[in-house]
Structure 1
Amino acid sequence: MAEETHGLDAPPPGVAADWTIPQGWDRYTAQEHATWDTLFARQSRLLPGRASDAYLRGLDALKLSDGGIPHFEELSDRLEQLTGWRVVAVPGLVPDEVFFDHMANRRFVAGNFIRRPDQLDYLQEPDVFHDVFGHVPMLADPVFADYLEAYGKGGQRAMAHDALKWLGRLYWYTVEFGLIAEPEGLRIYGSGIVSSFAESRFALDDPSPNRVVFDLARVMRTAYRIDDFQQNYFVIPSFDELLRVTVETDFAPLYDRLKALPDIPVAAIVPEDEVLTLGTQDHARSKATV
């Protein structure tokens, strides 16, 4: 979910009423395709044994290894056959109601630009590599695909309750930075991790962050930072359970309870937590002294 919107009441000139734009695949340069290939090569070498089985299956099923920035129409045709989702290009961050409408109708919005070669390791605004390599393979999993549709519909309802602050945290700690417990051990599935060379290692290997069993209300109370590694990762037992909790929870009374409770700070542990790994917080302390 976007941290902010364009702040416009209507799409800017050249943008469709639903805020989509042509991908402009023919306009990508050889350098831009090479940047995708560089990013793809190093992540695809790193992720086996780290990424969830669902993510790796999706990466293979969608043929993202063919080389170069994927063509959204061709990618969407493959994805739609699997789970009914399509990928649509947008000019950047879009208004919340647009974001949720696309998601509720199984359309995933993606930026069509790619970072510069000197930005391989970090880019604050999501680009096509983050959006497509990070997010889209998970949409090939039927259960996770259902979860994202349910999230989009939940977002439409949350707007009426002035509750996007809390719902946005659910997206952050699952879709963007979620971990899952698989039989072989903890695995990553959040797009912000799988698309990041550094955080793909940090999330699983570093002693600094806490790794806590997922609890819906706890996650929605937890603040986060967008400019650094996470210091709390929440671990789901399965995508089926994540979907079940999302679909079966009555969010309206939950929002009312959350409005009366204080936020839980970044990196904090509370007494109710089921802690899998208690972090040293060394990374957080070192960043605080810079």
Structure 2
Amino acid sequence: MASLPLHLRPFVAVQDPVNQYTPRDHAVWRFLMTALTRGLADTAHPVYLEGLARTGIALDHIPSIDEMNSCLAKLGWRAVVVDGFIPPAIFMEFQALKVLVIALEMRSVEHLLYTPAPDILHESAGHAPFLIDVDYAEFLQRFGEVGMQAIASQHDHELYEAIRALSILKEDPRTAAKDIAHAQARLAALAASEEKPSEAALLTRLHWWTVEYGLVGDVEDYRLFGAGLLSSLGESQSCRDDEQVRKIPLTVNAVETPYDITSTQPQLFVTRSCKHMSQILEEFAATMAARTGGALGLRKAIDSGVVCTAQYDSGVEVSGVISDMLCDAVGNVIYLQTQGPTQLAWRNKELYGHSTESHKEGFGSPVGLLKDFSRCLSQYTIDELKAHRIVVGESVHLEFLSGISVRGRLEGVVRQEHRNLLLSFSDCTVTTLDGRKLFQPEWGRFDMAVGGRITSVFGGVADRESFQLYKPLPRTATPSEQPDPMLMSAYAMLGDLHDAGLPLDQSQLQAIESTLNDYPAEWLLRVEVLRISSDLLPEALRARATRELDTLVVEPQHRRALALVFPEQLELA
């Protein structure tokens, strides 16, 4: 963790693989991984099964993060565990750093086929295996880089909070039905909003239809590779019904298709290859404000209502809630304005003396070239500035081509690598061509960013260490009842008997019988009994476990999963 940026470290949780997961948790993992790997053997991308082994994901127990990292290091990646949902921008930043984010929790037996919250099976067994494919790994990292720059909106943040709240409520067996209904109604209302989707929202859709629910091949012959499909026993089977689930060739138009995380997908997109996905990603990235800059980029930032960064061609970065801009008759930005705490930076490092404390109320500055100056003011040497009567300690009058005028006493010039980045004035007045006052002397020091145009506008801040937008929320671990210690001991006993592979003595057989008697409704316990080799388990005991399992499991999807786990012993429809 020491190599991670400081602002990311608070999001990293600590895994205690020995004490954190119960023997029943490991039984759930075993059951699901057995069913998934067998069910996906012929339908998942061929890399999947090989990738599980090469990324440290065992089939018989929940992996530790150390096990995974010893394997991922060979691929140039690493993994960290986090506590449930983390902000999308933080998730993307981890990914850009080639760090795979793994949810700490393990889904419960009650949510065996689908969990409403992130869990370790989805995040590890769903995402990690394909990192052995260089093209996929590069695509995933690049997606993180692009996602870090996407401009989100206040609506996006509200939607994220609604999804997070609903997942926590659903995972808690003690939650009242009315509370879940209320949370679902709130989420539905937000999802039904007619607000124009932000860059971040559109990019999230592309992530969903590729990384989470992607198919690879063509519409007539495809394989599964999306993590959401690979970690879902139900949808990995149902998605192959071409009459019920449409298959659409992947284009950038996929960003126009919203998704519903609470239901199965009515359509899926098919990519030709990982390189094809990268092409689609770059096609979208070319339209983002980070690339276009200018008035169009600033307009996206203003509409978002959240903190964004505007970058001048000089390299100066202004991070804050961009509230307004002025443009000339042909659409060139001539002035920008933020409100609230604002940071000034250069090359993603905060400029000394220009933190959010220095600019608590906001920041405004002209954009453009000066009259009679042949190039951008940032490129002039100190001697050249003197030749134009721009001297520290003296009164200076700057006239921009736009007609904006800056008049005041120059108190200092901030320079980096032979560039003028900021000019600071006292007793300063800034006016437009028509006499509108943008800054007045009584407001204090006027810091003017130097630059001819806005080349990039992106979401978030320039220096993430000094201006931390996101902090970990209170722990999201689902409150649950303390597990029955006797039941957990029973699961542990059966696991040990299977691993030992030794003949069972009378006391061990009696212990198994007592366990089945004590927990007549625990179907997964019977699965664990049937894992014991048929050479070691008496036929009568095996027949009893099979019979009771057949009686207890009535849901069709669970029965199909059982048929995958026990293809010979059980004949379950």
Q: Deviations over 1:233-285 (max 9, x none)?
A: 000001121123324651327997xx9xxxxxxxxxxxxxxxxxxxxxxxxxx
Structure 1 counterpart of 2:117, from 125, 130, 134: 125
SS in 2 for 1:89: strand
Higher fraction of strand: 2
Q: What is the aligned partner in structure 2 of residue 222 from structure 1?
A: 257
SS in 2 for 1:175: helix
Please tell me whether the aligned partners of residues 29 and 121 of structure 2 are also in contact (alpha carbons under 8 angstroms). yes
Q: Deviations over 1:29-86 (max 9, x none)?
A: 211111111110100110011001222321232342352001111211201202x111
Q: Deviations over 1:136-191 (max 9, x none)?
A: 11222211111111011001111379511100001100011000117992100001
- TM-score scaled to structure 2, two decimals? 0.40
Structure 2 counterpart of 1:166, from 185, 202, 223: 202
Q: What is the aligned partner in structure 2 of residue 175 from structure 1?
A: 211
Q: What is the aligned partner in structure 1 of residue 41 from structure 2?
A: 48
- Structure 2 CA distance, aligned partners of 1:232 and 1:118? 27
Q: What is the aligned partner in structure 2 of residue 204 from structure 1?
A: 240
Q: What is the aligned partner in structure 2 of residue 34 from structure 1?
A: 27
Relative to 1, partners in 2 of residues 1:173 and 1:66: Cα closer, same or farther, differing over 3 Å? closer
Relative to 1, partners in 2 of residues 1:58 and 1:251: Cα closer, same or farther, differing over 3 Å? farther
SS in 2 for 1:205: coil
List aligned pairs for 1:90-129, cutoff 5 A.
90-129=82-121
- TM-score scaled to structure 1, two decimals? 0.77
Q: What is the aligned partner in structure 2 of residue 188 from structure 1?
A: 224
Give the superposition deviation at 1:206: 4.8
- Structure 1 CA distance, aligned partners of 2:50 and 2:221? 17
Task: Give the stretch that moved more between structures: 167-176 or 46-55.
Answer: 46-55
Note if 1:140 corresponds to 2:132.
Answer: yes
SS in 2 for 1:152: helix
Instruction: Output the amino acid matched with 1:130.
Output: H
- Structure 2 CA distance, aligned partners of 1:57 and 1:183? 24
Higher RCO, Cα 8 Å, sep 6+: 1
Note if 1:60 corresponds to 2:53.
Answer: yes
Q: What is the aligned partner in structure 2 of residue 262 from structure 1?
A: none
Please tell me whether the aligned partners of residues 187 and 204 of structure 1 are also in contact (alpha carbons under 8 angstroms). no
SS in 1 for 2:12: coil
Structure 1 counterpart of 2:79, from 81, 87, 99: 87
- Structure 2 CA distance, aligned partners of 1:156 and 1:191? 21
Q: What is the aligned partner in structure 2 of residue 6 from structure 1?
A: none
- Structure 2 CA distance, aligned partners of 1:211 and 1:66? 31
Q: What is the aligned partner in structure 2 of residue 153 from structure 1?
A: 145
Note if 1:19 corresponds to 2:54.
Answer: no
Instruction: Output the amino acid matched with 2:231.
Output: S
Please tell me whether the aligned partners of residues 79 and 100 of structure 2 are also in contact (alpha carbons under 8 angstroms). yes
Instruction: Output the amino acid matched with 1:68.
Output: H
Q: What is the aligned partner in structure 1 of residue 561 from structure 2?
A: none
Higher fraction of helix: 1
Relative to 1, partners in 2 of residues 1:76 and 1:184: Cα closer, same or farther, differing over 3 Å? farther
- Structure 1 CA distance, aligned partners of 2:86 and 2:274? 27
Q: What is the aligned partner in structure 1 of residue 485 from structure 2?
A: none
Relative to 1, partners in 2 of residues 1:203 and 1:156: Cα closer, same or farther, differing over 3 Å? same
Instruction: Output the amino acid matched with 2:143.
Output: Y
Please tell me whether the aligned partners of residues 65 and 79 of structure 2 are also in contact (alpha carbons under 8 angstroms). yes
Instruction: Output the amino acid matched with 2:281.
Output: T
SS in 1 for 2:279: helix
Relative to 1, partners in 2 of residues 1:35 and 1:86: Cα closer, same or farther, differing over 3 Å? same
Unpaired segments ≥5 residues, structure 2: 1-6, 154-197, 301-573
Give the superposition deviation at 1:213: 0.2
Please tell me whether the aligned partners of residues 51 and 187 of structure 1 are also in contact (alpha carbons under 8 angstroms). yes
Question: Runs ≥4 in structure 1, deviation > 4 angstroms?
Answer: 253-256
- Structure 2 CA distance, aligned partners of 1:182 and 1:116? 36
Structure 2 counterpart of 1:240, from 272, 275, 285: 275
Q: Deviations over 1:63-116 (max 9, x none)?
A: 42352001111211201202x111110011112231111011011111111111
Q: What is the aligned partner in structure 2 of residue 5 from structure 1?
A: none
- Structure 2 CA distance, aligned partners of 1:158 and 1:62? 30
Query: What's the RMSD between the two structures over aligned residues?
Result: 2.6
Larger radius of gyration: 2
Please tell me whether the aligned partners of residues 85 and 108 of structure 1 are also in contact (alpha carbons under 8 angstroms). yes
- Structure 2 CA distance, aligned partners of 1:63 and 1:185? 30
